[in-house]
Amino acid sequence: MFCYHCQEAKKNLVCDKTGICGKKENVSSLQDMLMFSLKGLAFYCTQADEFGLVSNKTNRFMAKALFSMVTNVNFSAAEFVGLIDEAVRRRNSIRQQFLNAYQQKNDQPFNQSLFEEAEWQYQSVDEQAFTDKGAEVGVEKDTETLDPDVHALQETLLYAVKGLGSLAVHNLEMNVDQLLYTEQYRFIYQALSFTLNTDNTLENVLDKVVRCGELGLAAMALLEKANSKKFGHPIPTSVHLDTLDKPGILVSGHDMQDIEDLLEQTADTGIDIYTHGEALAAHTYPAFKKYFNLVANYGNAWQGQKTEFPKFNGPILVTTNSIQQPKKTYQDKIFSTGMVAWPDVQHIADRKPGQRKDFSAIIELAQQSDTATPLTEGTFVSGYGLKALTGLSDKIAEAIKAEKIKRIIVLAGTDGRHKERKYYTELAETLPENALIITAGDTKYRLIAHDFGEIDGIPRLLDAGQSNDFSVIIEFLQALQLKLGLSDLNALPVSFNIAWYEQKTILMMLALFALNIKNVRVGPTLPPFFTPTLLELLTEKYALKGIDTVENDIESLMAGN
């Protein structure tokens, strides 16, 4: 096992026996084998694209397969065996179609020397054989033939492509027209195929990495527009953090369509719906306000599951990342859906075309459950989506001109277990009162208990929503830049401090690179796949920084460094 694809990798280096997330060695090898298989599929999809041979079904499969490998999504060996099998079968089918089309067009066979990923075949669909092969073709495989710095940057690319795949799945769930993001699928195939080359340079890999950040931001924007079109533009909403006296269902994750399906099926049943983690954003959508049983947010960010879920007492639905190994005290009450899976956890099947997902099993269990044990109390205001932020832009611009707002601090990203993450709480609470704070993702949970007050009637803490809503912050800042007549975003008094944990938060960093934004901070530690040479390159080109002490960082942030 060699896995360093989350911020909490052992000793911030690598998990080499069992993942800190609970991932077992066999599942890690199967994920490596799936990536190996997807590269082979991508090789032929890239070739076959010229002939229009890549179907929407293959696009959807690629997106879901990549999403399955995002941190804390899928831990089921059986699921990965099925995905590997399908990847190879799809590759073989597209391969044959391409070879026929190429021969017909060029009057000669395709004779490019092939990579193992494009040729490998299996004797039978066998979990142990796939696991053994995966152990041979994991992250360390390419260190024998690639420059270590090129290898490190290609790992960054693969990591980001998984995040791009997850966003594609979110867009699929919202029925975003695939024509709008065909370019993103094409890039996924090209990027995976590109990593098969042994002569890539740092410069051309960096070009791909930055392009991935650009497309990731575009995918986030597509999702924001799809959610807002269907559920209305988020509006600032005081979300209750306490509990009521009815049995409930707790929903964790990002998927708004799943939440609507559940709300529709639980209306008038006496069952209350609570959100957890990044699902908190559901309370801010106008379409959900008609459901009076969407009552509150329960608990904190994803990493609190093992202590918070047992106290909820009712069933729990995990719609996207992140899921942790369930304790026995609630394993019979937790359900997964979508690409989320854990062995022996009940799974809700995908919705059929034109229908809602069937949540009857969860509802039945809720009706037999006790009410939730209170955890917290009070409220938290979220819902500063694009329309709400734009509505504040005149006041914010005037406050900047009057020097009542000296700096905008973007604290976006994902929370985690490490004690070092208290840095984000201390930073926000210690910032001077002329600093405006904008959040996206579950980093908000580090700030949720503090009253930050106002600046000339503008709340000092503005929460844009989920990590997917990072594009909202960028669009708002770009509009603010134009309103102030500034040359580019680097001239705007804004600083970015990204709390990374997994793939979508890395996409945030890469999106900022694509926008050529300087002095971005990433913490609480820098990614372990950044070699010293790679870090030096990113520092020279983008002034990338790790975090320091709260005092030192506040001084630098407020000075624009």
Q: Is the pLDDT of residue 48 over 90?
A: yes
3-state secondary structure 357-371: CCCHHHHHHHHCCCC
* Alpha-helical segments (H) within 354-469: 360-367, 386-401, 422-430
| 397-415 average pLDDT score | 97
Q: How far apart are CA 327 and CA 218, in angstroms?
A: 38
Inter-CA distances, 205 with 112, 190, 198, 542, Å: 22, 12, 12, 16
Side by side, which strands form the sheet with 435-441? 461-463, 435-441, 407-413, 494-499, 521-523
Which of 16-25, 152-161, 195-204, 492-501 shows the lowest mean pLDDT across its residues? Answer: 16-25
Provide the mean pLDDT of the chain: 95
Confidence tier at 75 by pLDDT (50, 70, 90): very high
Enter the tokens of residue 340: 């989320």
| 357-374 average pLDDT score | 96
Tally: H helices and E strands in the chain = 17, 15
Inter-CA distances, 321 with 71, 73, 160, 182, Å: 7, 5, 15, 24
Q: What is the pTM of this model?
A: 0.95
Q: Are 440 and 465 in contact (CB under 8 A)?
A: yes
pLDDT tens sequence across 226-243:
999 999 999 999 999 999
Q: How far apart are CA 24 and CA 33, in angstroms?
A: 14
| Phi and psi at residue 231, to the nearest 5° | -110, 0
Confidence tier at 140 by pLDDT (50, 70, 90): confident
Q: Which residues are within 8 A (CB) of 66 and not within 5 positions of it... i.e. 6 or more apart?
A: 38, 161, 162, 164, 165, 166, 168, 188
> CA dihedral defined by 47, 50, 56, 57, rounded to 10 degrees?
-30
Q: How far apart are CA 438 and CA 415, in angstroms?
A: 15
| β-pair type (294-297, 272-276) | parallel
| 389-416 average pLDDT score | 96
Confidence tier at 321 by pLDDT (50, 70, 90): confident
What are the chain's domains? 10-229 (1.20.1270.20), 237-367 (3.40.50.2030), 383-558 (3.40.50.2030)
